[in-house]
Each structure stands twice: as C-alpha cells, then as structure tokens.
Amino acid sequence: MAGAGQQAARSRRERTQDSRALILDAAVDCLVEHGYAGASTLAIQAKAGVSRGRLLHHFPSRDGLLVAAAQHLATTRLAHTERRVAEALTDEPEGPVRVERCIELLWTTFHEPFFWAAVELWTAARTNPALAAALRPAERQLRDAIRGVADRIWGPAVCAHPRYDELRELLFTSMRGAALPYAFERRSPARDRHVAVWKSVARTLLFTGDATNSQG
C-alpha cells in the first residue's frame, strides 16, 4: 500500500510539473507573438490547454505568471547556449580566437525569444509598479545566472584578466542596446557592424599591454 501511495503522489507531482511547464511555455509564446498587452490569462490558458482553475492554482496573478515565464525561458535558453558554446569550442581555442568566437555566440542570444519576452516585460514595467516590483528580484537572479554562464564560456584565463568584468558588462549593455532595432529591422545580426567593434574593444582591453598596464 505504501508503494502504491508513493507512486500516486509522484504521479500527481509529475502532472503538476507538466501543467506548470505547459502554462509557462504558453505564456512565453504569447509574450513573443502578441506582446505584453496581448498576453492575457485567457490567451495563455487557451494556448496551454489547461483549465482556469489549474492556471490560477499555479499563478494567481498575471504579472507573476509572465515574470516566471520569462525567467523560465531564459534559464532554459542559457543552458542551451552553454551547451552550444561548448560544442563550438571543442577545439579549445585560447586568446583572441576564443574571445572573438565567444562574442559572436553571445550576440546570437540577443536575437532569441527569451530576449524579446524580457523586452516586453521591461517596457511594460516602466508604467506598471506592480510588474516592476515582481520583475526586480527575478532580474537580479537572472543577471547572476547570465554572468555565471558568461564566465564559464570565456574560460578561466580570460576571467582572470583585471579588465574582464569591465568588458563583460560593456558587452552585455552594448549588445542589449544594439539588438533593440531588430524589433523593426529585418537584417542579419551576423553582419552587424557592432560585432567588429566589440571584437576590437575586447582585443584592446584584454591583449594590449598598455590597457593592462594602465590598471596597475
């Protein structure tokens, strides 16, 4: 009997996890396809194929659901990005070659669904104090996770450089800004002129003697 009870409890947990994942995936899809205004709980419920009660059981508030959805997708995509980078760096390049390849790979992450889902939330939070309050702690956690992934991508040799933190933050903020016009411009990110600039800045900060010595 105990074994049957444990199996039933595990089955309930699995169903709960499955329905939660369905809701989060549906919320992300609605954010990306219809924007914040169009990502209503009714639209998310319909796309997820769950009951109203099931959705409210997991996420009593719409803003809480949308913040959780963006965080869910970002975490998933970060893991995917880390695997993809590991595959791209199987030849274990070092120095400028590794840095330039990492810049190219990081730039691609600013053109994936999780980035645009986040942009929708950031924009809405400007005039929505409740959403902003829900978003702040989630964004802090996500920022730490992104930095951790970036550090593993760059590798210990680059991370040990005294100007690495400066470069990492410069790249993230610049890439975020450079990606925004792609919301209305259809062009190839790989040919963006900023890519060459980022590589040049990285070479200067990490591999030019004067840049290193100036910090001493």
Same-domain pairing of 53 and 155: no
Q: Which two tokens stand for residue 93?
A: 């390049």
Same-domain pairing of 51 and 73: no
Same-domain pairing of 44 and 32: yes
**What local confidence, expressed as pLDDT, does residue 9 receive?**
46
Same-domain pairing of 39 and 76: no
* Domain containing residue 35: 1-60
Distance CA(154)–CA(102), nearest Å, equals 7
Helices (H), the chain: 2-38, 41-48, 52-58, 62-88, 95-108, 113-125, 129-154, 156-159, 164-179, 193-207, 209-213
Same-domain pairing of 158 and 84: yes
**What local confidence, expressed as pLDDT, does residue 14 receive?**
56
The overall longest dimension of the chain from CA atoms, in Å, is 73
Same-domain pairing of 208 and 101: yes
Are the C-beta atoms of residues 49 and 22 closer than 8 Å to each other? yes
Tens digits of residue pLDDT in 86-108: 777 777 778 898 899 889 988 99
Among candidate residues 13, 43, 60, the one where a domain is terminated: 60
Same-domain pairing of 12 and 73: no
Among candidate residues 44, 60, 76, the one where a domain is terminated: 60
Per-residue pLDDT for 20 more than 50?
yes
The total of structural domains in the chain comes to 2
The pTM (predicted TM-score) of the whole model is 0.78
Same-domain pairing of 53 and 78: no
